[in-house]
Structure 1
Amino acid sequence: MGIEDKAKNTGEDLKGQAKEAAGKVTDNERLEAEGERDQASADLKQRGEQLKDAGKDVKDAFDR
């Protein structure tokens, strides 16, 4: 996973956490749910990048 991808995913996760917290404090269910979705999206992207990296490792092992 590239450093830029990690930074984007971390940023999206932090943004989601902030939205979720703001939604809870203001009793705004829509904002809270949006924050949860942002966090879930960041998690899925991170897992996808990890799978790509694992696939590259396996390919490299067979190419030796």
Structure 2
Amino acid sequence: MLNLNNKVENAKDKVIGKTKESVGRATGSQEMELKGKLQYQKGDLKEKLDRTKEKITEKYNDTLNKK
């Protein structure tokens, strides 16, 4: 199971990123909009990496259990 702290951190990055993106768009700040997009992507990529690690660990454990 994914570490709860990682889940919270990833969700936080995604929410804050979308908020910054929206604020940047509303205020016309391209820099703020870009920072928001990047922070959202950071959270999304970390989430995908965590899921991949979890799948690899499960497969490895399954393989070891069969021996």
For 1:40 and 1:11, locate their aligned partners in 2 and report how far apart those are by CA, in whole Å.
12
Aligned amino acid, residue 10 of structure 2 = N
Unaligned runs of 5+ in 2: none
What root-mean-square deviation, in Å, do the aligned CA atoms of Structure 1 and Structure 2 show?
0.5
Q: TM-score, normalised by structure 1?
A: 0.97
Q: Percent identity?
A: 20
Distance in 2, Cα, partners of 1:41 & 1:8: 10
TM-score (norm 2): 0.92
Deviation for aligned residue 1:22? 0.2
Q: Distance in 1 between matches of 2:40 and 2:52?
A: 18
- Any gaps of 5 or more consecutive residues in structure 1? none
4+ residue runs of structure 1 moved beyond 4 angstroms? none
